[in-house]
Structure 1
Amino acid sequence: MSSYRDLLKTRGVARIIAAQLTARFPNGMLSLAFLLHIEHTYDSYGVAGLVLAALSIGQAIAGPLTSRLMGRWGMRPVILTAMIICALAISTIALFPLGIAADMVIALIAGLSTPPIQPAVRTIYPKMVNSSQLTPLFSLDASAQEIIWVLGPVIVTFVSIQIGTVWGIMLAVAFLIGGGIWFLTSPELGRVRIPRSKRKLGVVLKKPPVMLATVVGFLLVAACAAIEAGVVSTFGEGGAEAGIVLAIFAVGSLVGGLSLGHKPIGPWALARRMAIVFVGTAIAAAWLNIWWLAVFLFVAGIGIAPALAVMFAIVSASVRFSDTAEAYGWVGTGQLIGAAVGSALAGFLIDGIGAVGAFLVAAVLALLGFLVPLLGKRFHPDLRGRDASPLPDTEPVATITG
């Protein structure tokens, strides 16, 4: 734990982690807020699903595009413009019910304009700490983001039910704007400029570690989405048990990230961490009892944040600095698609054979998430004793100090 204490004492690290988590807090709120609001407005979960699908499609498309634009126009202009458009689009859905088709179009715009906070901050990290601190920093970041998924749904559900669904959405907008301004005013954004990439969009995916992280990230998040659907189906939407089990699942990820984040990253690192997720998920599927699920989903969770941290590190160590934001954008897109696919597959199996079907889907996805890095070991960089910082570009990178 001393490595994390040293990290948080490093200039700007605690501030930038807190700012980006606040700015990304709507990620844990918007899906549920839209679900509650659209269902309340149109009395249809099907319509709510269409609006959420449009939002997810927009976010998936935006990932690499807005990330790449940061190298062309700068981080602050891109994030600020996206934040304003996204906030206006989300607010329009909350305040002005314009019809199903219009709400879908506006949700697509909201997704397309989602501020690229995550690619930006993961591009900044290598410039804030020394090489020995970078992997623990990625792990700390992956662990801390569990706060978004634990507190976000709880807060937005409470506000939407107790006060109103419009207020639930507008609270997410408040986090988006407040956290975004905090992040934009952080000095670190002014000290680092992403060089303009000279490569075509998507070329970075030819880097095997980037593709490996994108595919495994897709499978990991798909498995998590299936687990969430299975837990909700097991205990019902209104049951406190579902919230308790999912919170324990997230706490497992937090504990795993803090416990394993300082471990050296060898060529087997990603496979080992995904093995933890698979074993915990497979055993959890055997008995849908609250305590059984709580214990073994906690075990499965232990591998999640460490696996994400490994993905961030191998991407960072494998691409040029000018390509890091786009690379993280593709990884994020893979995860967003995974969330949609995992939920959809789980839904089909739940309708067919019951809640256990979702856990079987999750176990299969987690198994694939273990096999891909196991069979693709030769594409996994060995970062033991090696700097995980991005490769330098061939031309000088401007750094502003002051």
Structure 2
Amino acid sequence: MISTYTTLLRTPSAWRFLTPGLVARLPYAMLGLGIVLLVKDTTGSYGIAGAVSAAMAVALSVVGPQTGRLADRYGQAAVLVPGALLHGMSVAALIACAKADTPTWTLFVTAIAAGASVPQIGSMVRARWVAKLEGQPLLPTAFAFESVTDEFTFVVGPVVATFLATGVDPGFGLAVEAVLTVVGSLAFAAQRSTAPAPRRRTAEDAPHSSAIRVAGVKVLVGAFVCIGAVFGSTQVAITAFAEESGRAGLAGALYAVFAGGSLIAGAAYGAMAWRGTAERRLTATFAALAVGTAPLWAVPNIAVMVPVALVCGLALAPTIITGYTLVEGLVPADAKTEAFTWLTGAIGLGLAFGSTFAGIVTDGFGASPAFVLTFGSAAVGLLVVTLGRRALLPAKRTVVDVTPVDAAPLALGR
């Protein structure tokens, strides 16, 4: 497994975009929690804090695909530079409004601006991998590597945001998020030689003027909303479960076990040579996710929750990796960044909905019913990909699904 990723990371110029990309992506998972911590401290209301954070997430999910579309057409740097600067100013304005105790509506306005301007670095990194490895057996491994990176940021980001907000100042976590985002994004944008070339559309491209018009992308967006709901409901339910168990301080550790299972499975999944088709694997991984989340509502204590959470997380990253792999065969080259951004935004949207509804259920009925919502989200995702499986069939098969990854060193000339 290690040799497979070593081969991937020897791809020429890869580190030139991976390093600044990681700096820019790490704060992605700090933004929502940072907003909650700041707004709760300044308003005293979890309700307002959650609503402001949800508004940011919705703005990110709605506007993100449009910035991805612009990046496909005009180039990544043309979108990243103004977007990163706007994001930095929006977060600074949010902090200032919260600290100055301005009217609540100003918090929503600045949070929406901050969410809408989040640089879509993860999608752009995936697009750069496609530009380098399209049609080659290392591409699924690249998607796996990116999913593992995403998991890493979601493990580290909230911890850093909490430490800074509680140990230094409630606004400091958001301030660091803004600085890392701006610096990392500008450094990433400067690596123009590794970016996909802008593609001007012609009349032949009209049916695919937007990636969301592709039926398979619509299916994946619906499925990824369900994945986001699994994330969001699990975060809330695990927090409530730890509190009900009298060990509230273990909530972060329990979620780290959940995310750790996903990280481990993603790393292993990306290093394997799969002979089945990707759309079949997506159905199988969603089925595994539904089975893994089914027993969560019945877990009696912390000791049992640890292994259950680990097993539950094992299906997450493989499901996400397979979805991104399918995109590569569903959309034309001039819509890939947009398509990846639709999936990223769908997860964010599902996370906002999942955490919101899980919070309502938890307030009224406790943690166990909230875990039922987690299972329901996975089950609906399985239904979506099962009913939409034909739409996920790519127009043309490539060797990606059948060629052993160990053959990859022969393909590194590109």
Fold conserved between structures, TM > 0.5 = yes
Amino acid at match of 2:353: V
The percentage of counterpart residues that share the same residue type is 27
Q: 2:132 corresponds to which residue? A: 128
- C-alpha distance in structure 2 between counterparts of 1:5 and 1:286, whole Å: 41
- Deviation of 1:32 after TM superposition, in Å, equals 1.1
Say whether the 8 Å CA contact 1:132–1:387 is kept in structure 2: yes
Out of 379, 395, 403, which is 1:367 matched to? 379
Counterpart secondary structure, 1:114? coil
1:205-244 aligned within 5 A: 205-236=212-243, 239-244=248-253
Q: What SS is found at the alignment partner of 1:165?
A: coil
Q: In the alignment, does 2:113 pair up with 1:109?
A: yes
Distance in 2 separating the partners of 1:8 and 1:74: 24
Residues 1:172 and 2:184 are matched in the alignment:
no
Q: TM-score, normalised by structure 1?
A: 0.90
- The 1:307–1:194 alpha-carbon spacing in structure 2 relative to 1, beyond 3 Å, is farther
| Residue 256 (structure 1) aligned with residue 265 (structure 2) | yes
- Residues 209 and 299 (structure 1 numbering): CA distance in 2 closer, same or farther, change over 3 Å? same
1:290-325 CA deviation, whole Å, 9 max, x = no partner?
222221121121111111111111111111011112
Does the Cα contact within 8 Å between 2:72 and 2:336 map onto a contact in 1? Answer: no
How far the C-alpha of 1:204 sits from its partner, in A, is 2.6
Residues 179 and 119 (structure 1), Cα distance of their counterparts in 2 relative to 1, 3 Å cut: same
Map Cα deviations across residues 38-97 of structure 1 (whole Å, 9 max, x no partner).
Answer: 111122222212321221221122111111111333210210100000101101111343
Q: For 1:210 and 1:313, locate their aligned partners in 2 and report how far apart those are by CA, in whole Å.
A: 12
- Which residue matches 1:271? 283
Aligned with 2:184: secondary structure? helix
Structure 2 unmatched ranges of 5 or more: 402-414
Q: Kindly provide the amino acid, as one letter, of the partner of residue 241 in structure 1.
A: L
Q: Which amino acid aligns with 2:369?
A: G
- How far the C-alpha of 1:102 sits from its partner, in A, is 1.3
CA RMSD of aligned residues (A): 2.3
Residues 212-247 of structure 1: CA distance to partner in whole angstroms, max 9, x if unpaired? 211111111101211111001111398331111100
- Residues in 1 aligned to 2:208 and 2:61: alpha-carbon distance in whole angstroms: 15
- SS, match of residue 307 in structure 2: helix
State whether structure 2 residue 365 is matched by structure 1 residue 326. no
Looking at structure 2, the residues matched to 32 and 247 of structure 1 have their Cα atoms a distance apart, in angstroms, of 15
Deviation at 1:288?
4.1
* Correspondence list, 1:2-401, <5 A: 2-96=3-97, 97=100, 98-129=102-133, 131-190=136-195, 192-197=196-201, 199=206, 203-236=210-243, 239-261=248-270, 262-264=272-274, 266=277, 267-381=279-393, 386-387=398-399
Moved more, 206-215 or 143-152: 206-215
Tell me the CA shift for residue 332 of structure 1. Answer: 2.2
For the 8 Å contact 1:313–1:388, the answer to whether it is kept is no
1:100-123 per-position Cα deviation (integer Å, ceiling 9, x unaligned): 111211111111111122222221
Q: Tell me, yes or no, if the aligned pair for 1:76 and 1:189 is still in contact at 8 Å.
A: no
- Conserved in 2, the CA contact under 8 Å of 1:70 and 1:78? yes
Q: Residue 265 of structure 2 aligns to which amino acid in structure 1?
A: G
CA–CA separation in structure 1 for the residues paired with 2:259 and 2:47 = 28
State the number of aligned residues. 388
Structure 1 window deviating more from structure 2 (120-129 vs 300-309): it is: 120-129
Gap regions ≥5 residues in structure 1: 390-402
1:383 to 1:16, Cα distance in 2 relative to 1, 3 A: farther
**CA 1:77–1:324 in structure 2 vs 1: closer, same or farther (change >3 Å)?**
same
Q: 1:383 to 1:13 in 2, by over 3 A?
A: farther
Q: 1:177 Cα shift?
A: 1.7
Question: How far apart in 1 are the matches of 2:186 and 2:221?
Answer: 29
- Check conservation: 2:140, 2:400, Cα contact below 8 A: yes
Amino acid at match of 1:320: P
Q: Which amino acid in the other structure matches residue 240 of structure 1?
A: G
